[in-house]
Every structure is written in structure tokens, then in C-alpha cells.
Amino acid sequence: MHILVMNGPNLNFLGKRDHQIYGNFTLEMLCEKIEARAIELSVTVTFHQSNAEGTLIDFVQENAANCDGIIVNAGALTHYGYALRDALDDAGVPIIEVHISNIYAREEWRHRSVIASIAKGQITGLGWRGYLHALENLVFEESNLELGENKI
């Protein structure tokens, strides 16, 4: 199983952004946590971060045919990135939208997601652990596995 993990604008500044909202971990630390869990689950992950919507779209289009799911934190593009939304929809694989902060507890303009309607689910406000929950869901749902003794 192969999962794409995409991060949009400003997520390269994790660790430098407001720690009250985003925590003090960096994008590199986040990727290390995801990679460690992926290894435990016998899954490969490919990471990509860009501040440009077109670059994110190119990444989806170039990699969707060879993946089994996509975890996406589109950052501010969540609220207006219709072209990215369409590329994700065209990918034809399960999408889980993730946000480190609870977008519904922040400014009203952050409450709208153009990606949510095409996503299998949305995880918001659980910090970096939200990415792990998304990864586990994609793996367990796609392979019909469950957590527990003698299981993954």
C-alpha cells in the first residue's frame, strides 16, 4: 500500500508558527512520525509540501495512479482551492483531509472547506496525531484490518 501525504501553504513553517495553534513540532518531525507509523503498518508514504497550488496539483496528477490514498492538509487552500479540490477528486482514491488546529474554533472564514465534500473524512484539531489517525484509517479500511492482539 502506498499513501501520499500532502501539505500546503505555510506548513513548511511548522515549528516557527504560533505554537498555541500549531504546536512546536516541525514539518520534518511530523514526517518522521508518519514514516515511523507507516513502517509499523508496512506501508510506504510519499511526502510533498508546496506553497503553490499548481505544484500541489502537479504532484497529485503525477502520483495518483500509483497510490492507494491521499492525506491532505491544504492549509489556506482548504477554503478556496477549487483547482486542487478537482485534482484530488479526479485522483480516484480515498482522500482524508487533516488540519492540525481545529478550523471550526478559529476565524469564521476557516470554517469552510472546499475539499471536505470529496473527502472520505476530515480530522481537525488533533495536532500531528491527526495525520496518524488518517494513515491508520486508510490502511485499516482498505485492507479490512483492525487494531488488536494478533492484528496490526
Active-site annotation holds for 80: no
CATH topology of domain 2-113+125-143: Rossmann fold (3.40.50)
pLDDT tens, 104-144? 777 787 788 999 999 999 999 999 999 999 999 999 987 76
Packing angle between helix 129-143 and helix 27-40, nearest 10 degrees? 30
Is 2 part of the annotated catalytic residue set? no
Cα separation, 61 vs 70, whole angstroms: 12
Q: What is the pLDDT of residue 92?
A: 97
Res. 49: pLDDT tops 70 = yes
Average per-residue pLDDT for the chain: 90
The predicted structure's pLDDT at residue 145: 56
Given the residues 99, 104, 111, 133, the one annotated as active site: 99
pLDDT digits (tens, 9 = 90+) for 75-113: 999 999 999 999 999 999 999 999 998 887 777 877 889
Catalytic residue among 19, 22, 104, 111: 22
